Amino acid sequence: MADQQAIPEHALARLAGLRKAGHPDGVFTSDFSVNEFLLVRKAGFEPVGLCVGSCIYHLGMQFAGWSSSCELDVLSTAMYEARALAMERMREEAKAMGADGIVGVRLTVKRMEWDEKVLEFVAIGTGIVHAKGHQGFKGPRGEPFTSALSGQDFWTLLHAGYRPLEMVMGSCVYHVARRGMLASIGSAGQNVELTNFSVALYEAREIAMERMQLEATRAGAEGVVGADLHEGSHGWATHVIEFFAIGTAVVPIEGHEPGEIPDPQLVLSVNS
């Protein structure tokens, strides 16, 4: 029957319950969706295993004067170091399973209900290998690359002529000064910019971005895709805020010409 040719024999045998099922000699695990799985395979890669790294971290204490805008470097260091540790542990898992890299990395921070000074940082992604053993996709120093790109984004990035190198990040925890009594009274009932607040936010964001960019440059990247800036206050006092920049550093694939990239088609979906 013509319309059934689309389903391969191998799959049909399994559906009829004819084929033996078990694969005792190794299975892969991943948190891909169906589409991601198909696209990663289409890109010529196979998943090997879910890579997870977690870091449970106790944050030190730091105080800032009532009226000073400044970085809280103890907290900045903590937030960066804890994430870096989680990422490193994830990368170790990937290395142990022989992965070329990790895609779809999600980095989360969770406050522990039982201690406000303890945070759990988790990095989770799927380790993949090139199906034909191509070695050119490894990250810096021959280690597995890391990337926050989904399976879809990974396929598209490769077709854009770039490959992921590693996730880069920058963190800055900043104390925003409170306004003095006189200044508050002076501006009561007026529409004015609170310049010191604006400046504090600018400065904190700038520091986080700078650190991320520096990391990418040091890794030998040409650029950073999917860069994102998160603002968060992980249960800290008011006036304390974290700026966290994260993205995937990329390098061009040698020999890939921009002319090879096909023009995308325009579609208008009438489906809902």
Partner 1 sequence: MGLFGSSAKPSAASLERCRAWEIALDRNGLPDFVTERLAGAAAGKGAWVATMTPAELLLMRSHGIRPIATVSGTCWFQYGMSWTEGHAQGWHDALDRIRREAEAAGANAVVDVRMRTLRHPMGASMDFTLIGTAVKINGLKPSPAPIVSTVSALEFVRLLEADIVPVGIAVGARYDWLGYWASSYGGAYTSSGWGDSQALWRTQQARSMFSGNTPLHDLMDFWEMIRRDAHADLRRKVAEMGNGVLAHTNFGQLIERERDKQPPAFLGRHIVIGTVVDAKYGSPVPHEIEMVVDMRDDLSPLRTPDAPRHSSYEDVQDEEGDI
137-196: which residues touch partner 1 (CB under 8 A)?
150, 152, 155-156, 159
Strand arrangement of the beta sheet that strand 240-252 belongs to = 70-71, 162-175, 240-252, 223-232
**Binding of partner 1 by 245 (CB under 8 A):** no
Map the footprint of partner 1 across residues 200-229, applying CB under 8 A: none
3-state secondary structure of 68: coil
d(CA 94, CA 87): 11
SS3 labels along 88-121: HHHHHHHHHCCCCEEEEEEEEEEEECCEEEEEEE
Dihedral sign from CA coordinates of 241, 105, 137, 144: positive
DSSP 177: P
Looking at the DSSP bridge assignments, the partners of residue 173 are 242
Map the footprint of partner 1 across residues 20-79, applying CB under 8 A: 21-24, 26-35, 37-39, 41-42, 46-47, 50, 52, 54-61, 74, 77-78
63, 114, 188, 191: which one contacts partner 1 (CB under 8 A)? 114
**Binding of partner 1 by 128 (CB under 8 A):** no
Stretch of residues binding partner 1 (CB under 8 A), selected from 118-126, 212-220, 238-246, 252-260: 118-126
**Binding of partner 1 by 127 (CB under 8 A):** no
Residues touching partner 1, count (CB under 8 A): 76
Stretch of residues binding partner 1 (CB under 8 A), selected from 16-24, 176-184, 200-208, 237-245: 16-24
**Binding of partner 1 by 15 (CB under 8 A):** yes
- CB hemisphere CA count around 78 (13 angstroms): 21
Smallest distance, partner 1 to C-beta of residue 156, A? 8
Map the footprint of partner 1 across residues 69-108, applying CB under 8 A: 74, 77-78, 81-82, 85, 89
